[in-house]
Amino acid sequence: MAAILGGLPASVLAFVYLVAGVLFIQGLRDMTHPRTAPRGNLISAGGMALAVGVTVLVTDILSPVLLFAGLLVGAAIGVWLAMTVETTEMPQLVGLFNGFGGGASALVAGAELIDMFGTGSFQLGVTATAALAGLIGSVTFWGSLVAAGKLHGVVDDSAVRYDGEQAVKALFLALAVLAGIHLVVRPNLLGAVPLSGWVPSYWVLVAAASILGVLLVIPIGGADMPVVIALLNSYSGLAAATTGFVLDNSVLIIAGTLVGASGLILTVIMCESMNRSLANVFFGGIGETSESDEEMEDIYEGNITTTSPEEVEMTLDVADRVVIVPGYGMAVAQAQHAVAELSELLEDAGVDVEFGIHPVAGRMPGHMNVLLAEADVPYEKLRDLEEINPTFSQTDVVIVIGANDVVNPSANEAGSGPLAGMPVLNVGEARTVIVNKRSLSPGFSGVPNPLFAQDNTNMLFGDGKETMQELVNIYKENH
């Protein structure tokens, strides 16, 4: 690195990058708790703004004006997305952001290769790390697009399986690896060809990795999307870190490594919460079967007890302790504000209210926490699975809103089904269970839920938001 970069001493640039790295670490630490997460986001964003700003000032590739113009366009798009995307659509937005990070890494690595090959200087370290960045970045980009499409409903969210799928994946992985080896070992093989600066072997690698990314995510069902999103987040970080080595940029290496490591840790936690291995998620599949409402009624043999908001209000009137268990159905119905209002009314009446949060409820890690925080539910009221499960036997009423697989007691039974061994919220141990759903349809796993037919369970059918708001109105009238 030259002593002076764009008029800025190299030592100053290194110091600014160090400060940015410290801000990344502090921001990541703050994001480990819901209360400090907003501050962590701001600190991390400040660190990135500092790193990007100083990089733009010292670059000699493009004029600062042009780079700042690009930053303004990107910032405008980011702000627009943040302001317009509904909270229920946040998982697919996170998936897209993961993909953009991976795609950017692959393109930047390719651009650096083109520049390097144009000068005729072949550096082994750069070509090797560029190959890794292209492989990981391309898999991340296209895999994230498929994941976002599944979450948004534009791609079938079932597990699409076919004969020989593992062999097909292995074929494209081998093709990408071979192209990467060719790039590293024989970078100037086509040196006499005018298009050699185009680096054909690199783009063969990118094409093969892109197809591999699609093939990796297509067979994964919607129930596993939280794990996939976390893993793709890790991939985007690894792609950024390898691109940092290509560009010899320390702050990109630091940021990418932090994202990659934290995403991998989160993926492991998510897998443990589902009692599944990462290999099982990618090669096992879940959510392959589904039953119609009529078939569900036959399965439950007419043992379903229905209730109404009026009856639920009377049940709540004599309760001392209530636990609310939200699921993805609450997110779809946008019922979190009505649920928060019901919680406040019950607390004003002297009822002890808590929320039982399953780690994989929703379609991305922390989905339920984000929704409830949006509705101003105090963080102190949110209890994870390990905290809340021992208390269900002392709970008068549990209200399950749009949750299914995460409260399915069949997961506790010995067997080999999609939910076998998955830790679930043992809501059936409460004195009374109220389940608010549109129908008896199963969750993403396609497994019927015996909870619905238990003697202490009452099914409150209807849209989550409308039903909860009706219950709130009735409770207000009687208190």
64 shares its domain with 175: no
Question: What average pLDDT score do residues 95-121 get?
Answer: 85
346 shares its domain with 368: yes
Question: What average pLDDT score do residues 299-326 get?
Answer: 90
101 shares its domain with 75: no
The answer to whether position 25 is within a domain reads yes
227 shares its domain with 105: yes
pLDDT tens-digit map of 387-406: 999 999 999 999 999 998 88
What percent of the chain has pLDDT above 70?
Answer: 84
pLDDT tens-digit map of 283-295: 655 444 444 455 5
**Residue 4's pLDDT band (cuts 50, 70, 90):** very low
The answer to whether position 288 is within a domain reads no
Q: Among 52-61, 129-138, 187-196, 360-369, where is mean pLDDT lowest?
A: 187-196
More confident residue, 115 or 107: 107
Domain extent for 214: 89-283
pLDDT at 250: 87
In this prediction the pTM is 0.76
Final residue before a domain boundary, out of 37, 69, 84: 84
Q: What is the count of structural domains for the chain?
A: 3
Q: Per residue, what are the HEC states of the chain? A: CCCEECCEEHHHHHHHHHHHHHHHHHHHHHCCCCCCHHHHHHHHHHHHHHHHHHHHHHCCCCCHHHHHHHHHHHHHHHHHHHHHCCHHHHHHHHHHHHHHHHHHHHHHHHHHHHHHHHHCCCCHHHHHHHHHHHHHHHHHHHHHHHHHHHHHCCCCCCCCCCCCHHHHHHHHHHHHHHHHHHHHHCCCCCCCCHHHHHCHHHHHHHHHHHHHHHHHHCCCCHHHHHHHHHHHHHHHHHHHHHHHHHHCCHHHHHHHHHHHHHHHHHHHHHHHHCCCCHHHHHHCCCCCCCCCHHHHHHHHCCCCCECCHHHHHHHHHCCCEEEEEECHHHHHHCCHHHHHHHHHHHHHCCCEEEEEECCCCCCCCCHHHHHHHHCCCCHHHEEEHHHHHHHHHHCCEEEEECCCHHHCHHHHCCCCCCCCCCCCCCHHHCCEEEEEECCCCCCCCCCCCHHHHCCCEEEEECCHHHHHHHHHHHHHHCC
Any idea which residues carry the catalytic annotation?
Answer: 405
